[in-house]
Amino acid sequence: MIDRLWPRGVSKATLTGVIWLKDVAPSSELRQWYHEHVNEWDIFYQHYQQELETNQAVTLLAQKLMNNETITLLFGSKDPQHNHAIVLRDFLVKKLKQK
């Protein structure tokens, strides 16, 4: 799970065994800004990429991918094309190509 907040209506028992990496999610400030500016996807995308560059929590995911482990990015957004998981996925793919 890569959301900063636990999704409403989902019990933690339902996701037993799922690692909750809330620190890899966008900062609270960026998340709140995006909720107020949903039409500013490109700006959100750039800012979240910048946050990820200095986010140590991304290291765990990157290491798993470098070890050819499969990861699944669980998120609570209702928009499948415009959410932080897309940005995180793109960031991880870019990092893997650089190594």
Tokens representing 73 are 């990015």
- Segments making up each domain of the chain, as ranges: 22-98
The DSSP code for 30 is: H
- Give which of 20, 80, 90, 79 is closest to 49, Cα–Cα: 90
**pTM of the full structure:** 0.90
For 13-45, the pLDDT digits (tens) are 988 888 899 999 999 999 999 999 999 999 999
